[in-house]
Chain A
Amino acid sequence: MIKIIVIFGGVMGSLAYLTWVERKVMARVQMRPGPTRVGPYGLLQPIADGLKFLFKEDVIPTNANRFLYIAAPVVSLIPALLSFSVIPFGPWLQVTDLSVGLLFIFAVTSLGVYGIALGGWASNSKYPLMGAMRSSAQMISYELSLTLSVVGVLMIANTLSLNQLVLSQRNTWLGFLPRWNIFVQPVAFLVYVVSAIAETNRLPFDLAESEQELVAGWHTEYSSLKFAMFMLAEYANMVTVSALATIMFLGGWSGPVFGPGWMQAVLPTIWFILKIFVFIFFYVLLRSTIPRFRYDQLMKFGWKVLLPLSLANIVATSFIVAIS
């Protein structure tokens, strides 16, 4: 019970501050200061944003499908938060260690597609519908290369449980180089990172919510709390795929442990959070620098490049595992 409170409290707090991190980093890349007025270094900005979302007028378009319109953000948020229940934040800081934990996360993210499709459909206007269709098609296409790219890692670790995946990367080669899967499966790592960016609808793959083409994509007609739920769901998805990337490729919470007793208990979680932060920083940097893919380029890339690449990775890995 305490684990649940700690993990979910930490996750919700960090999601709010993720918006602050994103705005600050994007601003610094673009050589401007970013939010500085609300609190020192703009640290109270997420709280101000949250209050603003609460007090905004809640608009429901006249011809919108009321039930689906209200249900869509919830359908988007629940799977995004549900995947945190199997992620190991530390050696014992995990809500539940399912034996099929990795597949559980993939199952739950494939349910998140429905929030976007229903949100676009229920808004009953053309920009959301186009954005929703594009986004759903993109998400299910990249789900394939996402799940296939980790099969190589699974073949090496021989387990689907996330805690076991972390534990299988604790050894070191030559005494100091950690036995992380990023060194063993570099191709899978690249395919996974690119698919993860496409899966969470982030730049350079965010044609579905592009500001220049489709007003705001599938969440055009949404305001106040429902919009906040969509945003929370997007950031939660980002954190989930970053957490999965660190668990599978960067060794999860394993890292050098030193110091007194209480520090040894907390240090793995700190390593985990630092590694997740590397990925999130990478995400935000990508958003600030790279232009957007066109939709047909996006789909071609997913089906013609990433999918064969991940399949080739599976074949190569299975040969190597069978030989050794």
Chain B
Amino acid sequence: MIPAAWYLILSAVLFLIGVLGFLLKRNIIALLLSVEIMLNAVNLTFVVFSAQHRQISGQIFVFFVLVVAAAEAAVGLALVIAMFRNRESLNVDRSNLLKW
């Protein structure tokens, strides 16, 4: 018997790691990977609540989160390729032409 609290704390830890990665990494692809970690943490939370309240809707929502993550990863990586072609670098800090 594993209390739901442990799962939820695990997913909070994962979300935190994702946010830290998103704020602290400089490589664009690493930023996309951190977003994937955050989405996975949210998936875990949904599944935990779906198991606890005995409704299948939580898992359906995970399904949709998965689809959105796939679409976002595909478009994000295409953008990364386009950016790399113009700039020869994947460093986010080099893409600051709009900065005042």
Q: Do chains A and B touch in the complex (CB under 8 A)?
A: no
Question: Which residues of A pack against B, CB within 8 Å?
Answer: none
